[in-house]
Amino acid sequence: MDEFMNAAIFQAKQGRQEGGIPIGSVLVKDGKIVGQGHNKRLQDGDPVTHAEIDCLRNAGRIGNYKGTILYSTLMPCYLCAGAVVQFGIKKVIAGESKTFPGAREFMVSHGVEVVDLNLDECEQMMTEFITTNPELWNEDIGK
């Protein structure tokens, strides 16, 4: 596993330690992390602070997203996939999509290359969270 997915996993674990949902994300440009974040919906009481959104906010105004890669421990949902498409991010690498299929087809239909690594560690983090906190997870995905 590469350093960037490891950084996203670290973010997910940090979010869980804060009492939140264990999803992390990093944005990479020119081989360097320019933004990182984790799901803070519970911590901030903000329904749109998903990991990818937190990551993009923390990256700040980088001007152009050409050549960037977004890493996420979970396949991005439609909210986050919309941000990917809106900003012209052309590659997303997800840790897993078994616990949540996300919006892969939406991104692909808009020219985004999507790679699903199917990582056991990412799947286990989400499975454990979903099993112990089904009401919080269902709220996060709009169920």
Annotated active-site residue 52? The verdict is yes
Helix (H) or strand (E) holding 26: strand 24-29
CA separation (Å) from 58 to 5, 95, 104, 126? Answer: 17, 20, 24, 23
Q: Which of 52, 121, 123, 139 is catalytic?
A: 52
Q: Which residues are catalytic?
A: 52
